[in-house]
Amino acid sequence: MKLVIDFSFEDRLGIPKTKINVDDYLTLYDGEVKNSLTFDFDCTAGDHELRITHYGKTKHQAACIDYDKHMEITAIIMDDVPLEQELWMGKFYPVYLHPSDNEPTYIQPNLYLGHNGTWVLPFRYPCLNWLIDLRKAGPDIKDTIFSTSDKKLIQAIEFFKGVDDV
């Protein structure tokens, strides 16, 4: 799977650190964030989670009012296709340095990782099929003169399987 993640970030208090995982076990990157990170890795078919963690921000940095040390996801491209609305499916689970009772467990929609914490995007591989299913682009031709159905295809397969080659 080809994965490109683009970031913008504030580095005047130091470059933010990030760890990028797929599910629990595959770490794609761990270190200072960059404007663009590209990965090519094997991915099994099925459901997965892309996890982008912002870490290393200190209480002192969090208290700074002139600059907010942060990173922001500006683009994610999966197998050459940029995510669009799907980006807003990601949930950011902050680790609050100054916890209070009414902070939300997660923030969504959100691509701005100001707090330490992990942004989690569920996806399915092959991701092109996942995106096609989600987007349902193009006209709806069901029940029109143009339609195509599995039922008719199966009927045709059965029909031609048994006939002589003439």
Interacting residue ranges for other proteins, rule: CB under 8 A: 79-82, 128-129, 131-133, 135, 137-141, 144-150, 152-153, 155-157, 159-160, 163-166
Beta carbon nearer to other proteins, 66 or 80 = 80
For residue 108, the cross-strand partners are: none
Residue with tokens 């942004």: 119
To other proteins, the closest distance from the beta carbon of 131 in angstroms equals 4
Beta carbon nearer to other proteins, 64 or 154 = 154
State how far the Cα of 92 lies from the Cα of 110, in Å rounded to an integer: 7
Decide: 3 and 39 in contact? Cβ < 8 Å: yes
To other proteins, the closest distance from the beta carbon of 50 in angstroms equals 17
To other proteins, the closest distance from the beta carbon of 45 in angstroms equals 12
The Cβ of residue 156 has, within 10 Å, a number of other Cβ atoms equal to: 10
Beta carbon nearer to other proteins, 38 or 149 = 149
Beta carbon nearer to other proteins, 73 or 86 = 86
Both tokens assigned to 81: 């296709």
State how far the Cα of 70 lies from the Cα of 17, in Å rounded to an integer: 9
Residue 128, classed as helix, strand or coil, is: helix
To other proteins, the closest distance from the beta carbon of 47 in angstroms equals 17
To other proteins, the closest distance from the beta carbon of 145 in angstroms equals 5
Q: Which amino acid is at 92?
A: F
Residues 6+ apart with CB under 8 A from 38: 2, 3, 4
Beta carbon nearer to other proteins, 105 or 144 = 144
